[in-house]
Chains A and B, each alone.
Chain A
């Protein structure tokens, strides 16, 4: 009887959310396997799509698993999001459903109730549980290879500090090289400055074309940069490669670049995949890097903040340390990172809960990734068509984010302009989206100089993108240019 009621309620909410024009098919995570495609077909979900959705091995248990989320479940899970905002910047700070936040609160309360007991009896086993889940998700061999840290920024400091010691202790020669992408994240660039340049290393940047046209371009530029790095008998001690660059966002062929690094005798490869897990496929053995980090609070529904740092087991990695040294120093990075002084570790403990949440979507994280990608491309195309611009890369080179050209008329001519336009969109139009300034190359004239990085996550609706489309159209219609903004 219970089953039927649940079934009935799901159908009800399914219909409720399906009022004409309000939802497109991509905003439904799935049709429940409990009811058949006739209902789905009414609302635009193609029959082909409904039939082809075979449940994969995405559930922890067989028949007793909780039912798949309905659209109203999802609304409720993200009801703490500001409803007046078209939230299309999941890339910067991520998002966390309320059931996971609730689980986090439980852990916080347990700590506050009796912290000593929690410290001695609960904390370590629960962190280990999270690490074990992550190990399976990313196809690592041993749970020792998986450490949990605050964020990719911390992971970068860990890997790069190791480099600094290499120089200080004479393992590396003065002038040995590190290679990174020109579009590496700002914090990583600074970390390279603080730990590599300061210690005597030379840094080479890989310039990547943007807009991007093909993976081959990237491979070509990377090879060139490695050659530059190796000149004059230098060793390239570390290559830092983004899996998904931040601004502008492009999916990088990391597997291929890692292979090239091995061929070219690069000592170690560090993949900065801040946007990796929940966004692209993350398989450590396939990618083959020495270090790989990804934030779980961006695309894996964890609260701020938690990330994993994978360190392939090898003799070179026994010397990795968390820079905040506790009494666990020397017990291995995973153990060191599990205690860096009294702090709130609750975000690290809810990974099982995030997995539960994800598995209430059809095909779990794979289904989410696929639908996010398809939806963001669809929305991106809608926008560029409306504005007469173009996407920043071909669809196969983007994930759940894509760069969308903004009308040249807006006159974005500096980073400052981009930031000011972003503020204007937030404050005047209720649209949250990061803007990237691309300076024109020599000879280029009247080109698109501004791109918006739109994202798609399970809570988004088509209205978010219409709102953005209309805001930009409004600005153009009002003959607005960035030059007219304060502080421009």
Chain B
């Protein structure tokens, strides 16, 4: 089978579920080795966008890829299906699903959104839904999901309600309040809300949403189905699909769960309607259930779906396993966020308990970040001049809203910093110093653009 990494002297027999009780946890130098393929000079504090994958998992992936190239027919007939089922079983346990048939592997949350929304589109087309029946989403939903709603819901005659969440946010109550308000507005005019799409952790700006509470509200309000877009969740916050209670729940494993690009799971609660969910790329497996359909969508490289067991091994080399990793990531990112906010005289975008392994930190207003273009310019500048990789959010000021200021001017820009096991303090110091330098030089975003 897969070759054990001999570097850290691990025994050949590792329990795949429980963290080791003996002293031999992964060391700092092991971690540096595992991520030695990362560009060393870059302060990589954007784990949220594209994730990260350790060397031992990449090795496992190569092994699968080579097996396919060596004898693809034998691989297809004898190996592939079992490998995918093994991964699905592990995920089922991790997320507390009841049945492995509820767990499908797809490329990413973007694909999962297409699967769920295409079904909504069909319901409109086939007359199951009426014109102007509604889909509800958060205003800051991921752009791909918004476009998917346009492609499959609006186009088919459905209408959309956007829930505007406050940012910066101070408490979960604010979110619950806005959510309930939007549902009321939606239900006035007699419209039926067919689907609510709720992020577990919003992308930009990043906030941990009280999904369990919101799903409960959806049920109480008679919303037919709930789809939780938890792209960032697994490996970042606790994921218990029964507790959350949604009909559909998707999370990417390549963001915070150390899988290579790309693999995600889509959980579909068993019900009468879950049988009519299909992968949009139709193969000969059409009609055999989403997990089987998704496990073969034509000849492709499925190796990233097969390394979940190797990932679990990796995770369990850390003290506390994934729980330990999540806690340390959270504690560190909050600590680093506070360090930056203090240095810049700004704020955090959320209270610590509403962040996971990412947090929004206000940028000094003197940067005059007043548009999307400014945010892109600053991000590129940080990458090219300072070797800092961090996404930037432009906060649009809203009339009448209380806004955060620093030194008399509004804070209109935030960085979304992340912490993953490979990060060190130096990464955040690099960002801190870069921003301080730009401010000290008296530069605004517009001036950076012309440089």
Contacts and interface: CB of A to CB of B under 8 A. Distances in A.
Interface of A: 80-82, 85, 87, 89, 92-94, 96, 101, 109, 111-117, 119-120, 150-154, 156-157, 160-161, 164-165, 167-168, 186-187, 190-191, 193-195, 198-199, 295, 297, 303-305, 321, 323-330, 340-344, 347, 423, 426, 432
Given A87-B71, A120-B380, 7 more contacts: A82-B71, A116-B389, A154-B298, A195-B282, A304-B300, A342-B49, A342-B110
B280 A151 contact: no
B144 A344 contact: no
Contact of A82 (B70, B77, B110, B286): B70
A295 B73 contact: no
B321 interface: no
Nearest to A199: B125
Those 5 A-B pairs whose CB atoms lie nearest each other, nearest first: A341-B110, A153-B298, A323-B280, A93-B72, A115-B50
B151 A325 contact: yes
Contacts of A96: 69
A344 B262 contact: yes
A327 B203 CA distance: 14
Contacts of A119: 49-50
Given A93-B76, A168-B125, A117 B108 contact: no
A343 B108 contact: yes
B289 interface: no
Interface stretch (B38-46, B348-356, B403-411): B38-46
Interface residues of B, number: 64
A314 to B, nearest CB: 21
A75 B16 CA distance: 40
B385 interface: no
28 contacts: A92-B73, A93-B68, A112-B58, A115-B49, A115-B50, A117-B383, A119-B50, A150-B300, A152-B298, A156-B282, A190-B282, A190-B285, A297-B299, A303-B301, A324-B110, A325-B113, A325-B114, A326-B144, A329-B148, A340-B107, A340-B110, A341-B109, A342-B110, A342-B254, A342-B262, A344-B261, A426-B74, A432-B71
Contacts of A194: 278, 282, 286
Contacts of A157: 280-282
A162 to B, nearest CB: 12
B111 interface: yes
Contacts of A330: 147
Contacts of B39: 113-114, 117
B53 interface: yes
Contacts of B383: 116-117
Interface of B: 37-39, 42, 44, 46, 49-51, 53, 58, 66, 68-74, 76-77, 107-111, 113-114, 117-118, 122, 125, 143-144, 147-148, 150-152, 155-156, 252, 254, 260-262, 278, 280-287, 297-301, 304, 380, 383, 389
A477 B46 CA distance: 66
Given A194-B278, A344-B304, A325 B144 contact: yes
Centre residue among B53, B286, B297, B300 by max chain A CB count within 10 A: B300
A165 B261 CA distance: 32
Contacts of B37: 109, 112-113
Given A115-B50, A325-B148, A344-B260, A80 B69 contact: yes
Given A113-B38, A342-B108, A151 B300 contact: yes
Nearest to A346: B301
A6 B147 CA distance: 56
A341 B51 CA distance: 13
A340 B111 contact: yes
Nearest to B254: A342
Contacts of B111: 324, 340-341
Contacts of A198: 122
Contacts of B254: 342
A423 B77 contact: yes
B43 to A, nearest CB: 11
A156 to B, nearest CB: 7
A343 B150 CA distance: 23
A279 B144 CA distance: 37
A440 B426 CA distance: 74
A423 B78 CA distance: 10
Contacts of A167: 125
B69 A101 contact: yes
Contacts of A85: 71
A3 to B, nearest CB: 34
Given A112-B53, A190-B286, A329-B151, A347 B301 contact: yes
Nearest to B260: A344
Given A151-B298, A154-B298, A426-B73, A111 B110 contact: no
Nearest to A298: B299
Contacts of B51: 115, 342
A341 B298 contact: no
Contact of A432 (B74, B300, B380, B389): B74
A89 B156 CA distance: 43
B131 to A, nearest CB: 13
A419 to B, nearest CB: 9
B81 to A, nearest CB: 15
Given A325-B144, A344-B301, A432 B73 contact: yes
A153 B118 CA distance: 18
B262 A341 contact: yes
Contacts of B38: 112-114
A327 B286 contact: no
B144 A187 contact: no
A153 B74 contact: no
Nearest to B278: A194
Contacts of B380: 120
Contacts of A195: 282
A347 B111 CA distance: 19
A323 B389 contact: no
A382 B390 CA distance: 64
B282 A191 contact: yes
A114 B40 CA distance: 10
A327 B151 contact: no
Contacts of B74: 82, 426, 432
Q: Could you say which of A113, A187, A341 has the most chain B C-beta atoms within 10 Å of its C-beta? A: A341
Contact of A327 (B58, B76, B114, B144): B144
A165 B150 CA distance: 14
A214 to B, nearest CB: 30
A102 to B, nearest CB: 12
B284 A190 contact: yes
A343 B262 contact: yes
B282 A153 contact: yes
A117 B384 CA distance: 9
A89 B73 contact: yes
A323 B107 contact: no
Given A80-B66, A93-B72, A150-B300, A324 B389 contact: no
